[in-house]
Structure 1
Amino acid sequence: MPKVTAARIALTALIALTLTGCSGAAEEPASEPRSFAQSTPTDTEDAAVAETPTPAASTGASSADDAGYLAEVDRRTRPGTILDQFSDTELIAMGHEGCEQIGAGVPLEDLRLVEGEQATEYGTWQDTSAVFNSALLNYCTELIEEVP
């Protein structure tokens, strides 16, 4: 049990570090409100992910895992980020890609999941951090202890 507690503390510190400068206040009204978890599917693949209670064939995750992941991504990002350009299906694929890369030994500092993302003035990758940390909590919890 202490090993899990230490891993959770380390994860919390990592999340806080990667989100430095991000208020996380998704409650502020935006010109175009967004919510990944409650968005209306725009194509048949999105509809399958949003409406099917059985595991999704393309990702291996249940729709409950996907909904939790998308809600967490939404919670960790501010309106107007580059992530607004991606569909739920694309975001889900990014999360699984992050799990696969970290599981394969890619160093966390080399992880890039969001095409077109620019580093902040502090050299952090805010959207990649939001995507990966959300995936870590919903898709690949077994990697929590391995993430520095």
Structure 2
Amino acid sequence: MPKVTATTIAVTALLLVGLTGCTGTTPSAGNESTAPAASEPAPPHVTESPTAEPEASDAEAAFLALVGESLPVETIIPDVTDAQLLAAGQEACDRLRAGEVPDTMSLIEGEQKNDADIYADSSAIISSARLTLCTDQLSG
């Protein structure tokens, strides 16, 4: 008789697991402390990022791709992060809007002009920013 009871309990447990997986209401009562905690953090990050500012994300992605292609091979900022590049791109836009001339701008502390008398890394960032982040600054 104990084998039947153990078997009955096991079969009942399997049926409950199968049924709760289909209904979606019963398992949350039993696993409420673990299931929502594991699933709650991920969806906000996944759903909020793309819908929050899709145009800004597209412009930022385009900027990062373009500046990545435009930076000189001998860049003085080999370990720069995307966040730092975006901040430099926004700074370039702000300074252009304030009337600064792109050819004279350096966005990187300590950057020196190259043999062509330009700030090569800053020039790549400024050009990329003008084409993607601050298209209102294309002239000049």
TM-score by length of 1: 0.56
Task: Give the one of 53, 56, 61 matched to 1:55.
Answer: 53
Q: Is the 8 A contact 2:102 2:123 kept in 1?
A: no
> Which consecutive unaligned segments of at least 5 residues does structure 2 have?
1-44
Note if 1:74 corresponds to 2:68: yes
CA RMSD of aligned residues (A): 2.2
C-alpha offsets along residues 58-80 of structure 1, whole Å, 9 cap, x if unaligned? Answer: xxx72211110000001112344
Q: Is the 8 A contact 2:102 2:126 kept in 1?
A: no
> Which consecutive unaligned segments of at least 5 residues does structure 1 have?
1-47
**Identical-residue share of aligned pairs (%):** 32
| Cα distance in 1 between the residues matched to 2:91 and 2:103 | 15
Note if 1:107 corresponds to 2:104: no
Q: Following superposition of structure 1 onto structure 2, how do residues 34-49 of structure 1 map, counting pairs within 5 Å? A: none
Judged with a 3 Å threshold, the aligned counterparts in structure 2 of structure 1 residues 118 and 101 are, in CA distance, closer, same or farther, namely same
Q: Following superposition of structure 1 onto structure 2, how do residues 1-148 of structure 1 map, counting pairs within 5 Å? A: 52-53=49-50, 54-55=52-53, 62-145=56-139, 147=140
| Cα distance in 2 between the residues matched to 1:81 and 1:121 | 14
The one-letter code matched in structure 2 to 1:76 is S
| Cα distance in 2 between the residues matched to 1:80 and 1:104 | 30
Which secondary structure does the structure 2 equivalent of 1:74 belong to?
helix
C-alpha offsets along residues 78-129 of structure 1, whole Å, 9 cap, x if unaligned? Answer: 3441232321101001001011101101122321112232211221111111
| Cα distance in 2 between the residues matched to 1:79 and 1:55 | 32
Aligned length, in residue pairs:
93
TM-score by length of 2: 0.59
Name which one, 1 or 2, has greater alpha-carbon Rg: 2
Moved over 4 A (4+): none
C-alpha offsets along residues 6-53 of structure 1, whole Å, 9 cap, x if unaligned? Answer: xxxxxxxxxxxxxxxxxxxxxxxxxxxxxxxxxxxxxxxxxx8xx932
Relative to total residues, which structure has the larger helix share, 1 or 2?
2
Q: Is the 8 A contact 2:67 2:124 kept in 1?
A: yes
Which secondary structure does the structure 1 equivalent of 2:112 belong to?
coil
